[in-house]
Amino acid sequence: MNIALAQLNYHIGNFEHNTNKIIEHIELAKAKGADLVVFAELAICGYPPRDFLEFEEFIDLCEKAAQQIATHCKDIACIVGLPVKNEVLAGKDLYNAAYFIADGQVKNVIKKALLPNYDVFDEYRYFEPAREFACVDFKGVKIAVTICEDLWNINNNPLYISSPMDELAKEQPELMINIAASPFSYLHDDERVSVLSNNAKQYNLPLLYVNQVGAQTEIVFDGGSLAFDAKGNLIDEMPYFKEDLRIYEFEDNSIKGYAPIQHQTVPDVEQIYEALVLGIKDYFTKSGFSKAVLGLSGGIDSAIVCALACRALGAENVMAVLMPSKYSSDHSIQDALDLVNNMGCKHEIIPIKEAADAFDSMMAPAFKDLPFNLTEENIQARCRGIIVMAMSNKFGYILLNTSNKSECAVGYGTLYGDMCGAIGVIGDVYKNQVYQLAHYINKDGIVIPENSIVKPPSAELRPGQKDSDSLPDYDILDSILYQYIELKQSSSAIIAQGFDEALVRRIIKLVNNAEFKRYQTPPILRVSPKAFGMGRRMPIVGKYLS
């Protein structure tokens, strides 16, 4: 039996697009001699559909699409994910399910049992867990089909009290197939390979695993579909960050023609780069937009975002707006122009001095003789926000936010100023990782100007301003932030590692006090195990650790 894994990029709620793509790959797999083609979790509607699942029509359209797909399953079978109705009154109204379709008909309905409810996942909000399990029989082969999390209850601290494979194993299957929507983080591919390998080894069965690829707002899916032998050896790994279809010959309880290989170890910075490019590209194409605008300061953050946008959208579709203040240095303007020349994108120079002076004059009667402070700095940042939003409104550009994770964490940014935008490109990338990205982008030649990399970071909103006036060295700051955000360590635990107590408490208080700002910022492309946004839910007025 020949089994095709279809690693595809879906679009949430775009039934015509998803259905046509699935049918196209059914026909392609058939032409390549496949007997069975396997698609990802919730492929028909896209993942995660979130509250679209509360619309009855949405579920009906999923079923209608599945029936259309079934008409193409002649001389070939398919496994495809979709939500299905729970006909029992008690419990949630839906199952996260998959159809096994053959001879033009739905032969089996596989229901997901383990419903993740952590980080970016919220499946138990919508779905009822499966409690009955049965293998799929096809061409004389008994297949244990599971859905994503159903294979993840295998570590030393299981989240669930039972495992679907324990039940399916009682039927003595010959092959495992897992369909998934497994989001990217720069650590997740290694974990994924380990978990799946352990499943193949534990149940002594070969395993075929298909993941989707593409970005859905802030969540990026990296593909990397996998094949394992019955000993848990990785025997094939499909590409990351792009679509693919690959066929495997299964005979005599094994996948033929493959020997054990090593998992492709890719540096974190390269994975982050590819994920951000894909995230930008899909945010625009799936939203129906093509042109981006951003404020370009001459600093490293905006330079990185500009370079990523040019790669994702084409330089001709990127507008960089230089907005020097009266405190901007000549070299910052030149650094920004050097990047524009290196990338070939469009640009405008719109100084903000006149606007900022007008606000100062307008506010003078109310401010009386109070000295210059953060207020006037924020006015300048908000002038810039007005300008880039005006460019967005006038020309149909979509604004890219350029704040990094270190800044987002401690609130080092101005609401309605430099924190505005439609999508946060590097809001899950710490400042030190931003520097790594700059060197990665420059690996084949200078793209990011050297001066943007080596000069001290500055918002240039007052004379001689530097980030270090307000923040500790980024090496120290990022280390503390990583312990607190990704590793969820308390202040006392971080202090015990040797960090200065006063500094730790100050930074954690800054993080907690900035929660209200992060609630008002754009969605942030997720590349880490713990990103700001839907995967990190903290109270705004909480007292703990503050």
* Residues that are catalytic: 41, 112, 148
Q: Is 517 annotated as a binding residue?
A: yes
Tokens representing 416 are 């309605």
Within 10 A of 451 (CB to CB), how many other CB atoms are there? Answer: 14
Residue 302 marked in a binding site: yes
118 is in an annotated binding site: yes
Three-class DSSP category at 148: helix
Backbone angles phi, psi at 295, to 5 degrees: -85, 130
Residue 94 assigned as binding residue: no
Q: Concatenated DSSP letters for 83-113?
A: EEE--SSSS-SEEEEEEEEETTEEEEEEE--
Is 295 annotated to bind a ligand? Reply is: yes
Q: Enumerate residues 6+ apart whose C-beta is below 8 A from 307.
A: 339, 343, 441, 447, 448
Q: Is the Cβ–Cβ distance between 486 and 520 less than 8 Å?
A: no
Helix (H, G, I), strand (E, B) or coil at 430: coil
The answer to whether 378 is annotated as binding is yes
10 is in an annotated binding site: no
Q: Coil, helix or strand for 351? A: coil
The reply, when asked if residue 299 is annotated as ligand binding, is yes
Does 297 show up as a binding residue in the annotation? yes
DSSP 123: G
424 is in an annotated binding site: no
Asked whether the beta carbons of 18 and 63 are under 8 A apart, the reply is no
* Beta-carbon contacts of residue 117 (< 8 Å; ≥ 6 apart): 123, 124, 125
350 is in an annotated binding site: no
State the maximum Cα–Cα separation within the chain, in Å, rounded to a whole number. 87
Answer yes or no: is 301 a known binding residue.
Answer: yes
Helix 300-313 / helix 330-343 crossing angle, nearest 10 deg: 20
Report the SS3 class of residue 399: strand
Binding-site residues for deamido-NAD(+), in ranges, read: 378, 407, 517
The annotated binding site for L-glutamine is made up of 118, 182
Binding-site residues from annotation: 118, 182, 295-302, 378, 402, 407, 517
Known binding site for ATP: residues? 295-302, 402
